[in-house]
Structure 1
Amino acid sequence: MAPLRTLLPALGLWLLQAGQAYARAQGYTGADHPYKRDPDWDPFFTFGHHHPISQDGTSIPHFEVIGHPEILSDRVILTPPYPGNQRAAIWSDHSNHNDQWEFHVPFRTSGPDRAGGSLQIWYTYRGASVTGTSSIYTAKPFEGLAIVIDSQGGRGQIRGYLNDGTTDYSIHHHPQSLAFGQCDATYRNLGRPSDLKISYTHDHGLRVELDDHICFETNKVTLPSNYRWGVSAASAENPDSFELFGLKLALHHEPINEEHKNDHHDDDHHYPYHEETYEDGEKDKHKNREKKGEKPKKDDRHEEEIAKRHKEAADHHARMAESKYKEFKSQYELKDEDAGHFKDHDSQFGDLHLRMQALTHQVAEVQRVTGEISFHINNIHNMLDHFFGARGGDEDSAGGLFEDTIKDIARKIQGMEKTMQNFENSLRHEGEKINVLNDHHDNLHHNIKDAVIAHGPNMGFSISLLVVFQVMLAIAYIVYKRRRSMSPKKYL
């Protein structure tokens, strides 16, 4: 019983792990949500779901990077915490062909108390070619949806904008008033990513949520497919840092009723793509299947979809490489008209009004660009003054930080030269000592020989001393014998 009692917990743990592995293999999220499957992510509009985000640190598959964001293994820093006045954007390189979707934007914002900046999520027709790194305050007329996250009056806000290509937000005096929906949001300095979710379905319409809390929603908005996704960020002089942890597009699939199945099959709008989007060979194959009454296989449709998307992405990159991100001509540029075309004063006044309006917009654009150039020139000038100019009007400090740095380097070099001279003198003195020691060791055996010869005992003197000592012993012995023999003897 004891071995069985010890094996039961291990057996139960093994069964639990096997069940969880099977659930994950079937697409379920686990024990917390046993009947909820993982979202069906569209790989052409998703990154950050797997790490690293980029293989080379400069590009993201299926997206084009504009500006100079810092691409790390798990996130993209669109605007760094220093310096300010930075812009960057990430745009999908092909259009979204999904009618219903759920777009997730995990992001994090950090900065000082009075920092400024904005994060825009775009769903527009022209994509990066028109909008690029623009914010909602500098955006030219676009067609589509824009969701803006920024702070107004010390409070975080999320606002939604719609544009049919006729409104120029860059010249509007108060763009906040053009939002069709907004809410207050807390997103700065949370220490964790926030999840912005934008969903669009035929049943519920458009819904914007932050961290699973509904911000605003409306069913009066119709968003077509074939638009492009993009995220741009802009920081102020006192900047907010916007970090993007990925983009994820989940697909919504509506079930088709049996009674409407034939209608949906006959309607071209419910196919993944229209007939004219296929290549010649694929078009013939599709027609032959329709003649035979066969339904296109799911795998074939998936392959055709992937091939079409790759072709569209390649065409898009070719167009962008050719135009070098040139903006489209402004809609306010009017073509020349013959004077006889205008028959009455109203038409003449209307044409003059449109041309004056176009001139005003062009002058405003020139002023904006000139202001940006002047701002950057002033920053460069201040930087140069900081490094090369005088500080605080003090003549003694003329030359700026650059000259002080050069003088400091010169002083350090002089100190190093003195140290090297002292070291050289020390080495020379030690060398002389080493030479003296070498000479002493070379002459040591000669000196020992001379000392032994000079101070050793004389051999003749030693022999003479030995002879004298022997003679004295002999004399002493003779004297002793004589005295012994002459002494009186006693007999008993």
Structure 2
Amino acid sequence: MYITSQSLRAVAWSTLAFSATRASYVIDNLSFGQKEGAYISPDLQTIPHWIVQGIDDYMPQILTDRVILTPPYPGSKRSSLWTSDPLHHSGDWTAELDFRATGMDRGAGNLQFWYVKESQARETPQSLYTAKKFDGLVLVIDQYEGRGGSVRGFLNDGSIDIGSHPDPDTLAFGKCDHAYRNRGLLSSLKLHHADGFLEVMIDGESCFKTDKVNLPEGYYFGISASSAENPDSFEVHKFIVSTTNTYTREEPNKNRYPSSQSHQDQANMASKQGHEQQTHKQQQLVDNKKVDQMLEDVLASSIRSQQDQFADLHNRIQIINNRVAEMHEMLEGMVHANEQRFTDLMNRVVPIDDRSAATIRNVEKVERTTTAILRDLESKDFKDMMKQIHRTLEQSHEGLSRSLPAAMDVVYGSHKPSMTSFLLVAVAVQIMVMGAYLVYKKRRNGAPKKYL
């Protein structure tokens, strides 16, 4: 099967379009666990672009696919995760949290989903009931009112101390019931903010929705959890912030992206290298690797001007063309190597020499001899031979019939027992029995008598 360079280019274009479409939604520096099969932490101690906090010498346990905020053993543990970068969107965005809670039958604890100003992210891990005056939104998951679990939303502009309020639960602007403990499955809490409304969903179903809340940009996301003496273990598996806007997005590090002039220089350099001769291909590969290192995966909304967008797209298309050309050359090299290997193999198949011809003649001679023997055996008459064998067998049978009875008589007559010997044996046995009986009677009469 031969794959043309046009087919490879079409596949590369399709892959580039699909990747660009997916990358335009997820905000990577505000998310973790969004890539299937990828580790949350590169070193199992930190999460990129996130601040991991604990209290009382306890730190959350970071595993390959989850973060354990509170352990399954008692001790009133508290911990939190906070983004180190704020959200730069004021329009349509969605934040999704996948978590799980396990514990004993009467376990207690709570989980908070924060969207507040930076000051809250730098403080000790707090819950709704212990936090100071904060500015922003918090969603609380706990066993409020003993209903097996609920999700409640609270707003604060920095003027209310919810912890010191006589009845903080009355300040919730929305709530719904959700049995989140010991489900065996992950619970998905989603906060969707769009122009004109705010909606909270749990496991794909609407929890509450309002058109009177508009969250500002520049705030920080956070996740905190606390457990009681009878603990609940809260695990966070992923946190994903996404947007449908393709013209604006997060800028975690502007210095990592080259400028428009750099993009243009790289494009010119790649174009010149594409027309070099075969003697400069090694240098071209080195330069292409450098360009690949400079052009890392970025979010589309971080490129704000059309000129930067065109330069970035041009560079990436140039790299794809180079890679497709390399693949085409590799396939041609493989075809040439296979043809050379086939030619070498055919050259090794030499004509039959004289020794091989002699071997074939010997084999033919053996076949002729074998055929002659078979023919002789099939043509000869073996009746006389069979009659002679039959006559010999009859003579042997007659000789045995005549000599065997006489031999048996001689053997029987010389080895048979005599009558005198038989009588002597019988008399000796009778004498032995009588002697044994007399000895028995004598001992019995000499034994002491017992009287009752």
TM (normalized to structure 2)? 0.50
TM (normalized to structure 1)? 0.46
Relative CO higher for 1 or 2, CA cutoff 8 Å, sep ≥ 6? Answer: 2
Name which one, 1 or 2, has greater alpha-carbon Rg. 2
